Amino acid sequence: MNAPTALSHLVPEVNQRQVPQAFLDALVARFGAQCSTALVVREQHGRDESAFTTVPPPAAVVFAESTRDVADAVALCDAHGVPVIPFGVGSSLEGHLLAVQGGISIDLGRMNKVLAINPEDLTVTVQPGVTRKQLNEEIKSTGLFFPIDPGADATLGGMSATRASGTNAVRYGTMRENVLGLEVVTASGEVIRTGTRAKKSSAGYDLTRLMVGSEGTLGILTEITLRLYPLPEAISAAICSFPSIEAAVRSVIQVIQLGVPIARVELIDQNTVRMVNAYAKLGLREEPMLLMEFHGSPAGVKEQAETVQEIAAEFGGNAFEWATTPEERTRLWTARHNAYFAAIQSRPGCRAISTDTCVPISRLADCLLDSVAEADASGLPYFLVGHVGDGNFHFGYLLNPDDPKEREVAEGLNHSLVARALRLGGTCTGEHGVGLHKMGFLVDEAGAGAIDMMRTIKRALDPKNILNPGKIFAL
C-alpha cells in the first residue's frame, strides 16, 4: 500500500525529545556499522503505510542482529531517556513506527532466523524479523504451516505486536491464540521469557498475551514461539455471488452458527467486483461475492462445501465456482488479492483510507448495511472487503488527496462507522492495532477506567516512557 497523503485531521502531535550527543556517541561506539544516522535510512524507518507523513524521522537506526544487541540498545536508551521504536518491514497501517517523541528505531529485520522447529509439538520458535512467508517456506518440508495471513508479508514480530490476524482467523484464530511464548527485552534492557512450549498453562499472569498487541510499548519481542498446524489433506475454494450484501452476510452468519469449520470466508462488495473486473479482466458477475476456502479431509471438505452451498442457495447465492488445485484456487482468489490495487487504479491519483471495525456477527448486517448506505450517500468512491466470518471488514475510502473536503468526508464516514460498531458491541480495530490513528476511538471503546489501567501498567513497566511512546493512549 502506498502511503496516502496526510489528512488535516490526522496530523499527530509531535513533541520530539532531545537526543543527547553523548547517547549517539555511545550508540556508535557500541554498534559501529550496525548504526546509521543517514537521512535516507532514518526516513525509511520513520514512516509506515499509514496516512501520517509529517513526523520527522528518528535520530538513528540500529540494525540489531541479536537479543544482546536489542538489550544493549534499550539499556542505552534507558540510561539517556531516549525513545526506542521497534521496526520490522514497516507495514503498519496505523502510525506505529512514527517517532512522534523522537528517539531511535531498532530495525529487527536482520534477526530473521527460524530458531527451532518442533514438528511433533506443532510449534516453531523464530526471531522477530522472520516474515510469515519466509516461515512457511522454511517449514514446508514438515507438512505443517502457519496460517495467520494479514495480507502484507509482515514480520512475526510486528504481527505479534499488533495482534494481527487476517483471512484464516475465522478457523485458526489470531496472533492472540497462536503465540505460545516470548523472549522480551524490557524497558530497562533486561531479557525475560514468558510462557512455555506447553499447549496450556495456569502459571501466573499471562505476560505473553499482555505483550501480544502492546505495539512495542511494553517491551521489544526478540523471540516468538508459535503454534503450527498440519497442512490440510484437502483444500477446496469457492466463489459465490449474491443478490445483495445482506444475503451474502446472512449466509455467512448461518454458516458460522452451524459450526461449519470454514477456513476463510471473505466478502467483496459489488463496487470492488467492478473494480477488479476492470483491473484484471475477470468477467465476474458484478454482485456482492463471497470467497471461501475449506480445509480438512477430502470427505470433510466435501461435506462442508455441500452445507455451505445449501445455505447460500437459501439466500439466493448462485454461480458457485469451485477450485481444488492450487492454480485454480489462486485464480479464484485473484479478486481478493487484487482488490486494493484495483480500487486504487479505479480512481487515478487517489489515496485509500482503510477502516477496521469488527462486530459480533449478529450485528454484521446492520453495521455493514448502514455504513454502505452512508458511504453511498456521501458520493465518495470506496471499496469494501471483509473477513466476514469474524465480523471484521474494511472500507477503503478512495479520496483525492488534494481535496480537503473529501478528506473530511472520509474521516466523517470513518467516525460514524466506528461509533456504529461500538454501539453494536464491537471494536474500532479488529486487527490493525491502535497506533496513532485510533487513540481517540480507543477511549470511546474501552472507557476511561480501562484506559487508566493500561496507563498504570505502562507507567509501571516503562517508567521513563521510552518504549514507543505516544502510541495507543496519551500518557
Which residues between 174 and 203 bind a copy of itself (CB under 8 A)? 174, 176-177, 186, 190-194, 196-203
Q: Does 450 bind a copy of itself (CB under 8 A)?
A: yes
Q: Assess 234 for contact with a copy of itself (CB under 8 A).
A: no
Q: Which three cell numbers stand for residue 157?
A: 514480530
Instruction: Kindly state the smallest distance separating residue 2's Cβ from a copy of itself, in Å.
Output: 22
Based on the shown chain and the rule CB under 8 A, indicate whether residue 281 belongs to the binding site for a copy of itself: no
Q: How far is the CB of 420 from a copy of itself (least distance, A)?
A: 13
**Does 164 engage in binding with a copy of itself (CB under 8 A)?**
yes
- Strand 234-241: give its sheet, edge to edge: 318-323, 234-241, 289-296, 264-268, 382-387, 392-399, 351-354
Q: Does the footprint of a copy of itself cover residue 253 (CB under 8 A)?
A: yes
Site membership for a copy of itself, residue 71 (CB under 8 A): no
207 binds a copy of itself (CB under 8 A): yes
Min separation Cβ 394 and a copy of itself, Å: 13
Find all residues with CB under 8 Å of 277, minimum gap 6, and list them. 283, 284, 286
Nearer to a copy of itself, 27 or 179 (CB): 179
- Report the C-alpha gap between 62 and 45 in whole angstroms: 10
Q: With contacts defined by CB under 8 A, how many residues of the chain interact with a copy of itself?
A: 90
Say whether residue 36 binds a copy of itself (CB under 8 A).
no
x/- binding map, residues 99-138, to a copy of itself, per CB under 8 A? -------------------xxxxxx---------------
End-to-end CA distance of the chain: 30
Residues 354-368: b if buried by 16+ CB within 10 A, e if exposed: bbbbbbebebbbebb
- Residue 163 touches a copy of itself, criterion: CB under 8 A: yes
Contacting a copy of itself within 400-429 (CB under 8 A): 425-429
Q: Which 329-368 residues touch a copy of itself, going by CB under 8 A?
A: 356, 358-363
Residue 190's CB is within 10 A of a number of other CB atoms, namely 13
Position 370 contacts a copy of itself (CB under 8 A): no
Q: Is 293 in the site for a copy of itself (CB under 8 A)?
A: no
283 binds a copy of itself (CB under 8 A): no
User: 124-127, long-range: CB within 8 Å, 24+ apart, which pairs?
Assistant: 124/225, 124/226, 124/228, 125/223, 125/224, 125/225, 125/226, 126/156, 126/223, 126/224, 126/226, 127/157, 127/222, 127/223, 127/224
Contact region with a copy of itself (CB under 8 A), list: 45-53, 71-79, 205-213, 280-288: 205-213
